[in-house]
Structure 1
Amino acid sequence: MPVIRSDLPALVLDSLNYGESDKIVVFYCQEVGRLSALARGAHRSQKRFVNKLELFTFLQISYSKSSAGSLFMLDEAELVNSFITLRTDVASYQVASIIREYMLLTSRENSDDDQLFQLALWALHTLNIGIDQRQVLALFMIKFFDVLGYRPDFSVCQGCGTNPAEDTAVFFNVQSGTITCRNCSGSQGSGGLLLAPGTTKMIMAVQHQPVSRLSRFKPSGAVLEQMLDCSRRYSLNLFQRDIHSWRALKDKSSG
């Protein structure tokens, strides 16, 4: 039975050439999740696709599929927001690329997660309006783990089972996604990454807020750097793959 969908909100995650004039475009869509569709004539100056299939673009798409096993066909694409800043500002582009890589790494065709779509859309929109790029990335990562079901537990020491005091630093274990207090970690801090009290407090607050309220948080200084560091290390252990775009961002910030 033919499949037809119209006016579906979608973000462009990737595209690749297919033959001389066509493209296969990878979207992440509301209600549907990841979707690959063939855009016929995308290399030509066709009004329906010109300047609409760039990375990060927010569209409303219409697509169809004639039979089981065939490719989805992209019939129409209406531009909602090109997020132009993401292609003109280097730091914004780098952070958007990190988000894109994580979306491609963890999503599968037709496996929808509306929370993930809303999170990605929030991040791209927030970057586009000029919010600090590293803040956006830190907040995205904390909620990203949460949405995927890999939320780290910062509330209880895995060694003694106590709740660390609010003014006490803890150690984060990237293998288990848990924390240990100073007593259980030992004097050498062998339990993992040292996190300041403000960092764990910020992370737990972000974990318990919906995507619509993420912009309320403004991590900075050591708290921001620790959030980014533990997120990157935790994701590396979790997915067993580093993110190329994150290396570029780190090199730029180090320089």
Structure 2
Amino acid sequence: MPLEQSEAIILRTENYGEQDKLVVFFSREKGLGRGLAKGARKFNNRFGSSLEPFSQVRLFYYEKEKHDFVTISNSDLLDSAFELFSQIKTTWAFAYLAELTEKFSPYREKEELLYRLLQAVTAAAKAGQPVEYITRYFEFWFLKINGILPDFNRCQHCHRPVKSSSWLAAERQGVLCPACAHDQKLEVAPVLRRLIDWMKKNSPASLPDFQPTPEDWKNLGKIFQAIIVFNLEERPRTLDYLDF
């Protein structure tokens, strides 16, 4: 059983037994993984602060066939995200991003684009970008990477370009123009389409060249989250703690 190593982002941990921690991580080489860090709860343990959420680390571990968990022997901290979690709003936002990643991602399958997205939004948050923007940006690209982002610029029913407001279709696979929308519950206003088009072309390190209101960010979140809940077939637990 050879020792393996991988660059990874820690998503979350939970206590396991009296001295250990269960670690959920996302690695560059193998995607979503779970491992047991033995002795991680001991005072002056060898892991230090490297297992904090959204820390970028190099994990050293042993992997057995047909075992759900790897055994983590050590972890080198490459980049800490500890500073992000002094505010409860940011803490819950990143817990939400971690929950989405864990629930949607297949186990032990490489997903380079998602790894880079996690890296990018963490770096942008550390650079001071607003948490509302970081969260919406992640949702947008998360939906796109998973192949469930609708076309917001063309009516799903009549296929005509949308010029004004549209409404999210009931099955969450597209939008409907005013002539085709009978159930006008989740409106995609023109400013939301503008935000979506902007995020498609820019990194999270830069803000839009116009000024969306807090209500715009919140409404865009309602659209993205409706698509997420429909495809996940359950509501992420952490959504209950987001107020934006």
2:193 alignment partner, one of 197, 200, 221: 200
Structure 1 spans left out of the alignment, 5+ residues: none
CA distance in structure 1 between the aligned counterparts of 2:231 and 2:45, rounded to whole angstroms: 43
Is 2:19–2:42's contact at 8 Å kept on the other side of the alignment?
A: yes
CA distance in structure 2 between the aligned counterparts of 1:191 and 1:3, rounded to whole angstroms: 57
Partner letter of residue 179 of structure 2? N
Percent of matched pairs sharing the same residue: 20
State the match for 2:55 in structure 1.
Answer: 57
**Cα distance change, pair 16–148 in 1 and its aligned pair in 2 (3 A):** same
CA distance in structure 1 between the aligned counterparts of 2:91 and 2:170, rounded to whole angstroms: 27
Partner letter of residue 150 of structure 1? I
Partner letter of residue 91 of structure 2? Y
State the match for 1:220 in structure 2.
Answer: 212
Post-superposition CA distance 1:28-79 (Å, at most 9, x none): 11121011122121122345212221222221112223x4234422122111
Structure 2 spans left out of the alignment, 5+ residues: none
Partner letter of residue 90 of structure 2? S
Aligned residue pairs total 240
CA distance in structure 2 between the aligned counterparts of 1:174 and 1:204, rounded to whole angstroms: 22
CA distance in structure 2 between the aligned counterparts of 1:94 and 1:20, rounded to whole angstroms: 26
Partner letter of residue 176 of structure 2? T
Aligned CA-pair RMSD: 2.1
State the match for 1:171 in structure 2.
Answer: 167
CA distance in structure 1 between the aligned counterparts of 2:130 and 2:39, rounded to whole angstroms: 38
Which residues of 2 match residues 115-154 of structure 1 at below 5 A? 115-154=113-152
1:69 alignment partner, one of 66, 69, 82: 66
Is 1:193–1:230's contact at 8 Å kept on the other side of the alignment?
A: yes
State the match for 2:28 in structure 1.
Answer: 30
Is 2:60–2:72's contact at 8 Å kept on the other side of the alignment?
A: yes
Partner letter of residue 238 of structure 2? S
Partner letter of residue 119 of structure 2? L
Worse overlay, 47-56 or 32-41:
47-56
State the match for 1:185 in structure 2.
Answer: 181
State the match for 1:241 in structure 2.
Answer: 234
Q: Following TM superposition, by how much is the alpha carbon of 1:27 offset from its aligned partner in structure 2, in angstroms? A: 0.8
CA distance in structure 2 between the aligned counterparts of 1:86 and 1:152, rounded to whole angstroms: 31
Q: Secondary structure at the match of 1:77?
A: strand
2:225 alignment partner, one of 215, 221, 232: 232
**TM-score, length-normalised on structure 2?**
0.89
State the match for 2:79 in structure 1.
Answer: 81
Q: Secondary structure at the match of 1:52?
A: coil
CA distance in structure 2 between the aligned counterparts of 1:244 and 1:130, rounded to whole angstroms: 26
Higher helix share: 1
**TM-score, length-normalised on structure 1?**
0.85
Q: Secondary structure at the match of 1:139?
A: helix
Is 1:22–1:39's contact at 8 Å kept on the other side of the alignment?
A: yes
Partner letter of residue 51 of structure 2? L
Is 1:17–1:23's contact at 8 Å kept on the other side of the alignment?
A: yes
Which residues of 2 match residues 99-110 of structure 1 at below 5 A? 99-110=97-108
Is 1:123–1:136's contact at 8 Å kept on the other side of the alignment?
A: yes
Q: Secondary structure at the match of 1:26?
A: strand
Partner letter of residue 164 of structure 1? V
Is 2:53–2:81's contact at 8 Å kept on the other side of the alignment?
A: no
Q: Secondary structure at the match of 2:3?
A: strand
Q: Secondary structure at the match of 1:161?
A: coil
Alignment of 1:159 onto 2:154? no
